[in-house]
């Protein structure tokens, strides 16, 4: 799956925390219903969400709930910016 490859391919100073995967899974569980059964929409949204998670990961951001919340906010912000253009 492409989203897991993004985690594996990301570079960190230390070994990636399981918090990244857990935050992604928790965030996806909250928004998956929006994309219905459209496989392309699902894959695109999952990739966007994973990029959002990875974009906010830092040395002090290994809390699952904080990562989840920040990733959902980033994804929503990116979407709003995209539809304005």
Per residue in 5-63, pLDDT (tens digit) is: 555 555 545 555 788 899 999 999 999 999 999 999 999 999 999 999 988 887 666 78
Q: Where are the beta strands (DSSP E) in the chain?
A: none
From the list 13, 22, 77, the residue with the least C-alpha distance to 48 is 77
Note the pLDDT of residue 8: 52
Domain boundaries, the chain: 17-84
Quick check: 7 and 20 in contact, CB under 8 A?
Answer: yes
Res. 66: pLDDT tops 60: yes
Given a contact cutoff of 8 angstroms between Cβ atoms, the answer to whether 56 and 71 are in contact is: yes
């Amino acid at each position: 799956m492409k989203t897991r490859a993004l985690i594996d391919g990301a570079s960190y100073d230390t070994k990636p925390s399981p918090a990244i995967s857990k935050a992604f899974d928790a965030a996806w569980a909250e928004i998956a219903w929006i994309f219905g059964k459209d496989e392309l929409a699902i894959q695109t949204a999952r990739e966007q969400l994973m990029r959002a998670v990875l974009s906010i990961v830092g040395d002090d951001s290994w809390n699952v709930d904080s990562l989840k919340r920040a990733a959902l906010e980033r994804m929503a912000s990116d979407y709003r910016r995209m539809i304005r253009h």
